[in-house]
Amino acid sequence: MKPVIIKSTLLSQFNNLVHGVSTILGGENNSPFKFNLSINVGDDADIVSRNRRLFFNTLNVEEENVVLQEQVHGCNISYADRSEFIKENDALITDKENLFLIVNIADCIPILLFEPKTQIAAAVHSGWKGTEQEILSHTLDKLEKDFGVKAENLFVYLGPSICKHCYEVDHDVAQKLPPEFVASGNKKYLIDLPGINLKILKESGVREDRIQISSLCTFEMKNLLHSYRRDRENAGRMFALIGMRNLS
């Protein structure tokens, strides 16, 4: 089955930019993991390999040109100039063509950034821990300091993630996040991670008309998206990818 891949209308305007977010739809019918792209969830390694190949082929990306990372819900940001696996890292930046950055997700927010003037792409993984540490803000700072990227020139896509109506946490987590993005739930608290990251973008100078936030909730959309909160040990993982293709 050909994979169903979610794309941003905002980022799709750039002819040389490749991006996409996988779903549970594609590849073999491998219950319970379905179209899983992670080797760390207990899925069959051969099936995962075939799924990855199918995902990359659908985007016309060579697997040897991707950058993967060992996400640890931290605040480490790395510049990538070649295909590699980067340990203990949650955000990637590149200015190289034909190099594609990967974020691994199943509720956390994949944040894809592109600056067309300087041709810089970045991919950020931000769950509640990354959001608390403002990994997005630190990525924006690094983009400006190291690459001269101005926030107002960025185009940013916040891909599918768990929404503010479904992300239940205990008080110890809720108190670590801005109170205006925390609501009382049923003996729990509900947090709005996309809202916090949107605020960071706007306060950093990113134009609101250059920000797109997916309305798709990973937790709610059982027939389309993986969710660790919903499926726990039976949850697969999705890839969010971004990179620039050489069109010459």
- What pLDDT sits at residue 102? 98
Question: What is the C-alpha separation between 32 and 29, in angstroms, rounded?
Answer: 9
Token pair recorded at residue 192:
């709005």
Question: What is the C-alpha separation between 113 and 210, in angstroms, rounded?
Answer: 10
Assign domain 11-162+211-244 to its CATH architecture: 4-Layer Sandwich (3.60)
Largest distance between two CA atoms of the chain: 57
Question: What is the C-alpha separation between 192 and 128, in angstroms, rounded?
Answer: 9
**Cβ–Cβ under 8 Å, residues 111 and 155:** no
Helix (H, G, I), strand (E, B) or coil at 191: strand
- What pLDDT sits at residue 48? 95
**Cβ–Cβ under 8 Å, residues 242 and 121:** yes
Domain map of the chain by residue range?
Answer: 11-162+211-244
* CA 65 to chain centroid: 18
Q: ∠ CA(108), CA(19), CA(212), 5° rounding?
A: 60
Question: Per-residue pLDDT for the chain (248 aa), expressed as one digit of tens each?
Answer: 899 999 999 999 999 999 999 999 998 878 899 999 999 999 999 999 999 999 999 999 999 999 999 999 999 999 999 999 999 999 999 999 999 999 999 999 999 999 999 999 999 999 999 999 999 999 999 999 999 999 999 999 999 999 999 999 999 999 999 999 999 877 899 999 999 999 999 999 999 999 999 999 999 999 999 999 999 999 999 999 999 999 87
The span from the first CA to the last CA of the chain, in angstroms, equals 32
pTM of the model: 0.97
**Cβ–Cβ under 8 Å, residues 83 and 106:** no
DSSP symbol at 6: B
Question: What is the C-alpha separation between 107 and 154, in angstroms, rounded?
Answer: 24
Distances (CA, A) of 177 to 49, 81, 126, 246: 37, 34, 13, 41
